[in-house]
Structure 1
């Protein structure tokens, strides 16, 4: 028996079937459209992974569309006339969907850039409707946006200068989908003079669906950054769980195409590590669908090459970021082996500081001290700051010093501590 089904009904049925399979490519997110609403930017934009003359602009639309970002800078002769960058797929076609990630490239250091987003709704394109002329596309609404959607802030960013030795940044972690905490910790006075925001993992309980990603934390983060302040993300163990865990990099792209990567800022080399799950692949929680053992071997090989590089060795400072401290990952010998694998490399890397999370309470461990809570008798070889669940960590760096303070949900600061006192 044959059934006739209109396009709208087909996509609704297909979305249900797709959800039940657990398959979550970026295309699945593209089914979340508002057919009867006006075209709008529904989430973001937010800036990710700004480094080496590149930054990624990520945003969502409520309808399937093609997207571009137009960039201008009076400071950069290469951008004195507007340049346009497209949200393109790896196959050479412009991406048609609701989730958009546009990489801006060839940006000069220390310059200010303004950007404008343009999205064009795609109603039909020639492959999808009967009787279409070859190459014909049916477009709908067009939207241009040069201010952050929830306010009047112009879409502007500044690239870091190679010559400026000063910077500050703010770290939050273990939010576990409590957006109110994000709003409290990232209030404007805490973001004053912040060069970037670092999300150090476990921002959700599970990476289960798109709505949870934005309602749980990212909408609040994006609104705080209002399209101006760059964001870096270190994946936690809870981001490794849920139907959308495989789509993590669709929402949070990196230069390496992996959740681990590195970047430079104000003469400081940052290592962003990914310890993956805090349970072995054989555990019931992992359900037989993970292979973090192979993944972390690959990451440790990458890490060895990075710490051996001239850029890393000659940096003024070296800071490692990891959601889970690499000292004791759970109770199993397997997880301890993972910690040992990374620690052997990091112990020889001449780190100035490591910033971690995961424990939901804050600790400061001086170089030479025994690592707290660990059943292993290990003395750390570099200072470690573990930020709490309801704290923000603010770090300031200048030519001769690094200092930090914790900020609570009410905006209260602890005393600033000089890193030299932790040696």
Structure 2
């Protein structure tokens, strides 16, 4: 594929613009003061939603419309939330603000936990006097702390949503009824980063409504999440957005952030990015990972990365991914690589090229091209199905150990 053709294909769909703040009134307003009072009401505007890298810990995220002191109350009974957790303290100071990420640690494997988020509005902050306002106690929710020693792992992958939030529940409904350990978002959930309302309306709240109050998600950036004036603020809404590695059941998972698909010197970046070095840093982490005991002893090894390490055109980013990651994927005898980016769903078998690993690329983002990738892994077998948005199976892969 020629670079120009690949670039044109990926951008042909990006003609719809983001629209925020254009709200039509469905009923007449009789009082400006009444509207102001509603707008000023202290409230949760996103979440709560769960994120995790497992290992008996889970993070709870929620966003308020005003600065607050916040925490999570949780326990093993809905009537006895006897534990309390706060966001990470920095230099002895507990966090305050509107974005809250609180990690619950030392959870019991396999236990059913109940939790609620609590936020106390900060009305005034003077040097020697802090005045609180409304206290919000959200509804009690629940989650199962996944036992990392469990025998079977089930998860689904979504990718390349591109600011089409309705695709999240639509695709998840294709596997309705299956109990997932997590939902994986493999990049390009947005076209580019504009502001907080976009992140809330196009991702956090659709996830909360669909599943994330009770089932965690795992997330990695795509190349489109590296773009836009708000891209540097994106990480504060996530427990993790970059490189990660964790064990769940018979699987060692490795997540790579593949960065941008353009060269660092491209004019659109005006000299303020360094993705080549970023990818080399992750390659060093991957090299260390494949030599680790956790990686070597795992029955299955799964790598998740937005830009495929092969079969994704001749742009600089994909070629650099091939250069820095593929030798390590081959050396580590990876059992499965999951990607997106190309908008064309495809299962590439080991040996189609120099790749000695199977590569599954999800589709998207247009209706008729979207896919849900379903993965089930037991100690003896990994099975994968690609399901198109009309419910038809368009590909499958399995390996036995």
TM-score (norm 2): 0.84
> Which residue of structure 2 aligns with residue 387 of structure 1?
362
Match runs of 1:122-137 below 5 Å: 122-127=122-127, 134=128, 136-137=129-130
Length, aligned pairs only: 360
Q: 2:352 aligns with which of 353, 361, 369?
A: 369
Match runs of 1:246-257 below 5 Å: 246-254=232-240
> Which residue of structure 1 aligns with residue 399 of structure 2?
420
Name the CA distance, whole Å, in 1 between partners of 2:125 and 2:174.
Answer: 44
CA apart distance, 1:345: 1.2
Structure 1: give runs of 5+ residues left out of the alignment. Answer: 1-32, 75-79, 128-133, 148-154, 371-378
Verify the 8 A CA contact 1:175 1:217 in the aligned structure 2: no
CA apart distance, 1:193: 0.9
CA displacement 1:340-396 (0-9 Å, x = unmatched): 1111111101111111100111100111113xxxxxxxx320111111111111111
> Which residue of structure 2 aligns with residue 99 of structure 1?
99
> Which residue of structure 2 aligns with residue 49 of structure 1?
52
Q: 2:216 aligns with which of 230, 235, 258?
A: 230
Verify the 8 A CA contact 1:240 1:276 in the aligned structure 2: yes
Q: Does 1:398 align with 2:381?
A: no
Name the CA distance, whole Å, in 1 between partners of 2:163 and 2:61.
Answer: 20
Q: 2:185 aligns with which of 199, 204, 221?
A: 199
> Which residue of structure 2 aligns with residue 300 of structure 1?
283
Name the CA distance, whole Å, in 2 between partners of 1:353 and 1:121.
Answer: 47
Decide whether aligned partners of structure 1 residues 89 and 208 sit closer, same or farther in structure 2, where only a CA change above 3 A counts: farther
Name the CA distance, whole Å, in 1 between partners of 2:174 and 2:344.
Answer: 24
Verify the 8 A CA contact 1:403 1:416 in the aligned structure 2: no
> Which residue of structure 1 aligns with residue 387 of structure 2?
407
Q: 1:158 aligns with which of 141, 144, 161?
A: 144
Decide whether aligned partners of structure 1 residues 332 and 217 sit closer, same or farther in structure 2, where only a CA change above 3 A counts: closer
Q: 1:342 aligns with which of 313, 317, 325?
A: 325
Verify the 8 A CA contact 1:44 1:222 in the aligned structure 2: yes
Decide whether aligned partners of structure 1 residues 139 and 81 sit closer, same or farther in structure 2, where only a CA change above 3 A counts: closer
> Which residue of structure 2 aligns with residue 265 of structure 1?
248
> Which residue of structure 1 aligns with residue 258 of structure 2?
275
Does the residue aligned with 1:184 lie in a helix, a strand or coil?
helix
CA apart distance, 1:98: 1.1
Verify the 8 A CA contact 1:178 1:217 in the aligned structure 2: no
CA apart distance, 1:89: 4.1
Decide whether aligned partners of structure 1 residues 391 and 240 sit closer, same or farther in structure 2, where only a CA change above 3 A counts: same
TM-score (norm 1): 0.80
Name the CA distance, whole Å, in 2 between partners of 1:416 and 1:202.
Answer: 22
Match runs of 1:350-365 below 5 Å: 350-365=333-348
Verify the 8 A CA contact 1:172 1:391 in the aligned structure 2: yes
CA apart distance, 1:36: 4.4
CA apart distance, 1:59: 0.7
> Which residue of structure 2 aligns with residue 130 of structure 1?
none
Structure 2: give runs of 5+ residues left out of the alignment. Answer: 1-35, 365-369
Cα RMSD for the two superposed structures: 2.4
Decide whether aligned partners of structure 1 residues 334 and 250 sit closer, same or farther in structure 2, where only a CA change above 3 A counts: closer
Verify the 8 A CA contact 2:310 2:318 in the aligned structure 1: no
Does the residue aligned with 2:173 lie in a helix, a strand or coil?
coil
CA displacement 1:81-115 (0-9 Å, x = unmatched): 72111124423222221111111111122111111
Verify the 8 A CA contact 2:50 2:212 in the aligned structure 1: no
